[in-house]
Amino acid sequence: MRQAAIQRTTKETDISAALCLDGGEVNVSTGIGFFDHMLTALAFYAGFGLELSALGDLHIDGHHTVEDVGIVLGQAFKEALGDKRGIHRYGTAFVPMDEALCRTVLDCSNRPFMVFDAPMPQPMIGGYDSCLTAEFMRAFAVNSGITLHQKCEYGDNAHHITEALFKSLGQALKEAVRMEGDGVVSTKGAL
């Protein structure tokens, strides 16, 4: 089983995550309802098992919690993936959500980079600050070592845009980690 467990405690957050790339139960609790919904969708569409709990300084705002969850989830993903031997490596997904259409393209390259082009028409989605989507994606990309490109092709509703971004990330990750051999997909022989 390709899995990892990460614990991270700072003065701002206390986060534990157990991730299995080959499936399992999904239970998420961060104290931010909409973010829990997004992480659950991400794991579901990726086909991952995920047990994640986060306690953060939500009396300030959700920034530290969301960013630190991205850090922890990225570290767990990188550890669970190991040497990347046998994976497809690349993933692409388009996901529509009502009027919104979002695209995610990624490479499990061990070269962390992110391009994020998804303006949010509304600043808040319930108790979730919509600008935190980019913060989560950046923290996840950097700590997992992936190259991540995300774009909202069009959309008028920040909820729909954010949900399509998380779901398309899940589907692209599912494609990228799919086992299809025993070699490393690189002309260099290593990732």
Strand partners for 6 = 17
Q: Where are the beta strands (DSSP E) in the chain?
A: 3-9, 13-20, 26-29, 49-56, 90-97, 100-107, 113-117, 124-125, 128-129, 147-154
> By three-state DSSP, how is residue 178 classified?
coil
CA-CA-CA-CA dihedral for 121, 60, 138, 116, to nearest 10: 10
Percent above pLDDT 70 for the chain: 100
Q: Which domains does the chain have, with CATH numbers?
A: 3-177 (3.30.230.40)
Contacts of 56 (CB under 8 A, 6+ apart): 12, 13, 14, 15, 30, 31, 62, 64, 65, 68
Report the alpha-carbon distance of residue 155 to residue 112 in Å, rounded: 27
What is residue 156's predicted lDDT score, i.e. its pLDDT? 98
The answer on pLDDT for 17 being more than 90 is yes
pLDDT value, residue 159: 98
Neighbours of 188 (CB within 10 A): 6
CB 56 within 8 A of CB 44: no
> pLDDT band for position 44 (50/70/90)?
very high
Q: Is 120 left (phi over 0), alpha (psi -120 to 50) or beta?
A: beta
* Residue 190 banded pLDDT, cuts 50, 70, 90: confident
Percentage of the chain lying above the pLDDT 90 cut: 94
Q: Examine the pLDDT at 61 and tell me if it is beyond 90.
A: yes
CA distance 144 to 157: 29
Residue 115 pairs in a beta bridge with 149
Greatest CA span in the chain, whole angstroms?
Answer: 49
